[in-house]
Amino acid sequence: MIHLNTLTIVLLVILAVLAVILVVLVLLGKRAEKKQAEQQAAMDAVKQTVSMLIIDKKKMKIKDAGFPDMVVNQTPWYLRSTRVPVIKAKVGPQIMSFIADIKVYDIAPVKKEVKATISGLYITDMKGIRGSIAPAPPKKKSKFAEWRDNLQAKAGAKPLK
């Protein structure tokens, strides 16, 4: 009969628990991936291209952005206080608020007319009507990143990006 000490038993229990957690995470990941593919297919089915004049763009809370009550009520409670990229635009005769994809939000020019691909209240793509849209300006580095790059430059190492 083999006698295992308590440390080995504890390690085996921990290993078994980690294996179970890994299996659960893999299953949840596959389920989320399938759900995302279905949502993407639904968005592609109802997308349309419209011409709009962008009035303003801000990152704001969903409940403060002026969306219909139905949109706010369908948002999970834990996401209502997060800030989302919102674009106010004039589409035809009316002014509407849209949620923008983050890559679209970065390149959206204010006070310019663009052709945007929308799916409901969500802007997925944007192109300029007269010429191209200028790329987003590079983001300003934080003070810590500048300090770190200066230290690395003094040490002779390549700065991180």
Residue-by-residue pLDDT tens, the chain, 161 positions: 456 688 888 999 999 999 999 999 999 999 999 999 998 899 888 999 999 999 999 999 988 888 888 888 988 888 888 899 999 999 989 999 999 999 899 889 989 899 999 998 899 999 888 777 766 667 777 888 888 888 888 877 555 55
Q: Are residues 54 and 123 in the same domain?
A: yes
Domain residues for 85?
Answer: 47-128
Is residue 141 included in any domain, yes or no? no
E-state strands within the chain? 48-61, 83-91, 94-100, 113-119, 122-128
Q: Determine the Cα–Cα distance for residues 133 and 90; give it in Å rounded to an integer.
A: 18
Taking alpha carbons only, the member of 35, 50, 48, 52 closest to residue 112 is 52
Q: Are residues 52 and 105 in the same domain?
A: yes
Write the CB contacts of 123 (distance below 8 Å, at least 6 apart in sequence). Answer: 87, 98, 99, 100, 101, 104, 108, 116, 117
Q: Are residues 105 and 79 in the same domain?
A: yes
Q: What is the pTM of this model?
A: 0.66
Residue 1, SS3 per DSSP = coil
Q: Are residues 8 and 75 in the same domain?
A: no
Is residue 59 included in any domain, yes or no? yes
Instruction: Determine the pLDDT at residue 1.
Output: 45
Q: Are residues 41 and 51 in the same domain?
A: no
Instruction: Determine the pLDDT at residue 159.
Output: 53
